[in-house]
Amino acid sequence: DAKTTQPNSMESNEEEPVHLPCNHSTISGTDYIHWYRQLPSQGPEYVIHGLTSNVNNRMASLAIAEDRKSSTLILHRATLRDAAVYYCILQKKSSGDKLTFGTGTRLAVRP
Partner 1 sequence: DTAVSQTPKYLVTQMGNDKSIKCEQNLGHDTMYWYKQDSKKFLKIMFSYNNKELIINETVPNRFSPKSPDKAHLNLHINSLELGDSAVYFCASSPRITGGEFFGPGTRLTVL
Footprint of partner 1 (CB under 8 A)? 32, 34, 36, 38, 42-46, 48-49, 85, 87, 91, 96-101, 103
> Least CB distance from residue 9 to partner 1, whole Å?
13
CB of 33 to partner 1, least distance (A): 12
Please state the closest distance from residue 35 (CB atom) to partner 1, in A. Answer: 9
CB of 31 to partner 1, least distance (A): 10
- Measured from the CB atom, the residue of 63 and 101 that comes closer to partner 1 is 101
DSSP-derived letter for residue 5 is B
Smaller CB distance to partner 1: residue 1 or 14?
1
Helix (H, G, I), strand (E, B) or coil at 83: coil
Residue 23 contacts residue 102 (beta carbons within 8 Å):
no
DSSP codes joined into one string, 29-76: TTPEEEEEEE-TTS--EEEEEESSS-EE-SS-EEEE-TTSSEEEEEES
Nearer to partner 1, 42 or 53 (CB): 42
**Region of 27 on the Ramachandran plot (φ > 0 left; ψ -120 to 50 alpha; else beta):** beta
DSSP state of 82: G
Nearer to partner 1, 11 or 97 (CB): 97
